Amino acid sequence: MLKIGCHLSLSHGYLAMGETANSIGADTFAFFTRNPRGGKARPVDPDDLGALQALTAAKDFAALVAHAPYTLNLCSDKPDVRQFAEETMAEDLALLEHLPGNYYNFHPGCHMKQGRDAGIELISSALNRIMKPECHTRMLLETMAGKGTEIGRTFEELRDILLSLDDPDHFGVCLDTCHVFDAGYDIVHSLDAVISEFDRVIGLHNLYAIHLNDSKNELGSHKDRHEKIGKGHIGLPAITAIIRHPALRDLPFILETPNELEGYQEEIELLKSLADTEEA
């Protein structure tokens, strides 16, 4: 059974997100742990977090995929920017201890012309300080479109980060379909080859979640502009192949498409019906 949800707003609290997800047919979801531009987290309300944890268990949700603020940069050329990213992520992981067993997804960072290797070194050393052995959350590095100096445009860059981690069992990868397409991986014409490539370089055992987005731009554009499902250059046939693929279909799928709730509900319904067809 396809497990799918969308990005939701935390503005009414944690339980409210679970209820909203449930009401639109979702059985996982994503949220920003705080204002995506950084800033302070909302005060921790353990009862609210506990209520969400109970709801997701009762409704048999797949793992949730919390998203770090996308402005954080673990490999900035500015030490205070790196420090802020590191502190924010550590604080988010402490918060997520109230929701054990879920994922915390983040953009690896932009090396700001320090070079790929220097960036990777800064990212992995920060992750080694952030992750504690007792943590109950898995951190997921996201595949990136390769805008500017973004790290994570190639599977090799993510592999090199994973290889430098002291505690790789606490980490994994979240594959964003718009990002890999924009990065130049042709999931439209060669899905099997891209998945084999991922397996060869990173290993499919390291893949834990999918951001399911169409793309406003062409293969290899390095743009990162998400489009509604079936309305972009990836298109519905390729997206259907992705949700049905044996290597992917049991993972949680998160929509980050430009939609309000109603649009998300329609996409979830459509994708659930497309995923089911094959099993029938």
Compose the 8-27 pattern: x for residues touching Zn ion by CB under 5 A, - for all others.
Answer: --------------------
Report the residue number, 142 or 182, with the smaller CB distance to Zn ion: 142
Least distance between Fe ion and beta carbon 261 (Å): 19
Least distance between Zn ion and beta carbon 107 (Å): 6
Task: Compute, in degrees rounded to 10, the torsion defined by CA atoms 156, 159, 163, 168.
Answer: 180
Q: How far apart are CA 256 and CA 185, in angstroms?
A: 19
For Fe ion, the binding residues in 191-250 under the rule CB under 5 A are: 211, 224
For 171, how many CA atoms within 13 A lie in the half-sphere containing its CB? Answer: 24
DSSP string, 149-207: TEE-SSHHHHHHHHHT-S-GGGEEEEEEHHHHHHHT--TTT-HHHHHHHHHHHT-GGGE
What are the helix (H) ranges across the chain?
14-23, 46-58, 79-96, 116-130, 155-163, 177-183, 191-201, 235-244, 261-279
Among 48, 150, 157, 176, binds Fe ion (CB under 5 A): 176
Report the residue number, 48 or 142, with the smaller CB distance to Zn ion: 142
Least distance between Fe ion and beta carbon 30 (Å): 9
Cβ(92)–Cβ(100) below 8 Å: no
Least distance between Zn ion and beta carbon 64 (Å): 14
With binding defined as CB under 5 A, does residue 150 bind Fe ion?
A: no
Compose the 112-151 pattern: x for residues touching Zn ion by CB under 5 A, - for all others.
Answer: ------------------------------x---------
Least distance between Zn ion and beta carbon 152 (Å): 10
Q: State the residues that interact with Zn ion by CB under 5 A.
A: 142
Q: State the residues that interact with Fe ion by CB under 5 A.
A: 176, 211, 224
